[in-house]
Structure 1
Amino acid sequence: MAGRPWHVARTVLTAANGTTGAGLLLALLTRTRIRRGRHGVLIAEGWRLRMPPASCFTVGSVIITRRSAEWLLHEQRSALLAHESRHAGQYAVLGPLFWPAYWLACGWSYVTTGSFGVRNWFERHAGLNDGGYPEELPPRPWLRRFR
């Protein structure tokens, strides 16, 4: 199976750095149901809080979704599952440092384009299209003055 060593390493690293534990705790506190996904990720289904507004997001190796695990695991959403799995890989590398780095990248992207994802390094490297983000947006008018 291609990629298996990375899936195992990612699972071990996110467990060791505590980010998967944080994802499981968040799932437990919000009473989402935890299911086994593919390639070492877990899926917490039934997220009911209004934030974040996305259909799913990742904490460690836990993908948290408003929908069901079956919805996310359906072949039609294989690109979205791959996008969220790439975020799990980012957690494996950065551990808890992912959170401030990600929010800084969100801020930069929002300030420059009005979108949290388009110029966010983490979203770009997880695959903008796969995550449902536009590939490019024009810079905000105030930024164009500096070009």
Structure 2
Amino acid sequence: MSNSELIFRTAQREDVGLVLTFIKGLAEYEKMANEVVATEALLTEWLFDKKAAEVIIGEYKGEAVGFALFFHNFSTFLGKAGIYLEDLYVLPEYRGKRFGKAFIEHLAQLTVERGCGRLEWCCLDWNQPSIDFYLALGAEQMSDWTTYRLTGQKLQDVATSKGLK
């Protein structure tokens, strides 16, 4: 596979079903399929109406082989935006062909073109093949930081001050 054989395009509204299929495939790989509540309607609203994130689809010989979903974040220390890669997924039958590397290269180029200060993402700690891949790219593991999350009822409780003690 040469990079010229893999093309990237920005997802359009008519791709929402494909994007959801990729999301479900990623969730299954991550052993989190039961957590997917996204629907085509929700994705359309948040990706295309509210433009909260962007999606790039990779195509090889006319076939969609994977996707990357990302959005801008901001570094107060750098004083400029960055790109946060939320999801990167390549179909199982296309893994090991350097498509993942091509996605990261494309996103790095986009990050530089937009004048952003960094490209970052998270990886599940059990996903050693991906960790090895990212380290081989020269990515730095941010071991000093821990991600925290509020969702569901706990988010609602904090939003209404019920969760604060």
Q: TM-score, normalised by structure 1?
A: 0.28
Q: Give the structure-2-normalised TM-score.
A: 0.26
Q: Which has the higher helix share?
A: 1
Rg: which structure is higher?
2
Using CA pairs under 8 Å that are at least 6 residues apart, name the structure with larger relative contact order, 1 or 2. Answer: 1
